[in-house]
Amino acid sequence: MVKVGVLALQGAVREHVTCLQAPDVEVIVVKKIEQLSELDGLVLPGGESTTMRRLIDKYEFLEPLKAFAASGKPVFGTCAGLILMAKDIVGQNEGHLSLMNMTVERNAFGRQRESFEADLMVTDVGDDVRAVFIRAPLIKEVGENVEIISKFNDEIVAAREGRFLACSFHPELTDDHRFHQYFVKMVAQAKLKGVKSV
Ligand code: GLN
């Protein structure tokens, strides 16, 4: 049994909860800092990264989230969640949680392609993973420890760095739950290996 939280300050929370639900997973909607201590893994949903950051600051979540990530527990960010996880954001002086060694560009598809769907190859997840892109960011550069796990039109749209997983699209808006199952596996493995408590 693993406990996986979904940060519920803003964005597509309910959809992630649905995708994570499984007999061996307890899903927790995280609204308070204290809830982080009971989790084995955390999902940062999509939404609007600037709004999310404002709410993170308002409810003083920044340091507790950084501590959670530093404790060795897996974190999965989708879309705005990916932006929160990147060390560098094009046009900004600094990242938010700065967990993954990568540079992201917000709203990278421009107005013509505000929102669209595609089937993607994602390493260790599937050859035809349904992806919904909504004002999506792109990963423009990755550091050496970051594994690129999916590309769309030659651009990086999903990556993993150890226990950190991020994608620029919304797997939670489809019936395809394989991306979430992959994350749950990462959480179970990290739990088995034993991590420092927060
Ligand atoms: N464009 C949003 C941002 O910059 C992300 C969009 C999304 O999460 N669907 O935060």
CATH number of the domain residue 107 falls in: 3.40.50.880
Q: Which tokens in the block code for residue 198?
A: 């927060």
Residue 6 maps to a domain: yes
Residue 198 maps to a domain: no
Residue 178 maps to a domain: yes
- The residues annotated as belonging to the active site are 79, 170, 172
Pocket probe for ligand 1: among 115, 135, 157, 174, the residue whose CB has the most ligand atoms within 8 Å is 135
Phi–psi pair at 35, nearest 5 degrees: -70, -25
Question: Are the beta carbons of 135 and 114 closer than 8 angstroms?
Answer: yes
149 assigned to a ligand binding site:
no
Q: What percent of the chain clears pLDDT 70, i.e. is strictly above it?
A: 97
Mean pLDDT of 151-174: 97
Question: 107 CB less than 6 Å from ligand 1?
Answer: yes
pLDDT exceeds 80 at position 11: yes
pLDDT exceeds 80 at position 196: no
Q: How many domains, the chain? A: 1
Helices of type H across 95-155: none
Q: Which atom of ligand 1 is nearest to the CA of 106?
A: 4
pLDDT band at 162 (very low <50, low <70, confident <90, very high): very high
pLDDT exceeds 80 at position 72: yes
Question: Are the beta carbons of 28 and 177 closer than 8 angstroms?
Answer: no
Report how far residue 105's alpha carbon sits from residue 135's, in angstroms, rounded to the nearest whole number: 11
So what's the pLDDT on residue 62?
A: 98
Question: 135 CB less than 6 Å from ligand 1?
Answer: yes
So what's the pLDDT on residue 197?
A: 47
So what's the pLDDT on residue 110?
A: 83
User: How many Å lie between the centroid of ligand 1 and the Cα of residue 46?
Assistant: 6
User: How many Å lie between the centroid of ligand 1 and the Cα of residue 135?
Assistant: 6
Whole-number average pLDDT of the chain: 95
Residue 166 maps to a domain: yes
So what's the pLDDT on residue 195?
A: 55
Residue 171 maps to a domain: yes
pLDDT exceeds 70 at position 1: yes
Q: Which tokens in the block code for residue 64?
A: 């507790």
Give the amino acid at 144: E
* Rg from Cα positions in the chain: 15
So what's the pLDDT on residue 198?
A: 46
Report how far residue 115's alpha carbon sits from residue 136's, in angstroms, rounded to the nearest whole number: 8
- Quick: pLDDT tens for 110-126: 876 789 999 999 999 99
Question: Are the beta carbons of 85 and 56 closer than 8 angstroms?
Answer: no
Mean pLDDT of 4-16: 96
User: How many Å lie between the centroid of ligand 1 and the Cα of residue 45?
Assistant: 10
Nearest Cα to Cα of residue 97 among 86, 110, 108, 109? 86
Report how far residue 112's alpha carbon sits from residue 67's, in angstroms, rounded to the nearest whole number: 39
So what's the pLDDT on residue 111?
A: 75
Q: Which atom of ligand 1 is nearest to the CA of 45?
A: 8
Residue 105 maps to a domain: yes
**Domain extent at residue 81:** 2-193
